[in-house]
Structure 1
């Protein structure tokens, strides 16, 4: 039973960490994109 529990926990943890990594990359990408877009827009309007 313990090995089963460990396997399930390991699988969930791996999925969870993958999800977090994906979310973080997504957030960083869009954050950077919006930041650069704002800078360019501000420079062109100024």
Structure 2
């Protein structure tokens, strides 16, 4: 449980940086949420 939460936390931080970088290019931020959820639920 703890190990999986830590892995998700690392993934969230990594994706958070990508989202911050790309949010200026893409106007629709809602585009990220479905992909982000799919990534977490896949693993």
TM-score by length of 2: 0.52
How much does 1:23 deviate? 0.7
Find the counterpart in structure 1 of residue 11 from structure 2. Answer: 12
Gaps of 5+ in 1: 29-46
* Larger of the two Rg values belongs to structure: 1
TM-score by length of 1: 0.49
Larger relative contact order, structure 1 or 2 (CA cutoff 8 Å, min sep 6) = 2
Gaps of 5+ in 2: 27-43
Superposed structure 1 runs of 4+ greater than 2 Å apart: none
For the aligned residue pairs, the C-alpha RMSD in angstroms reads: 1.5
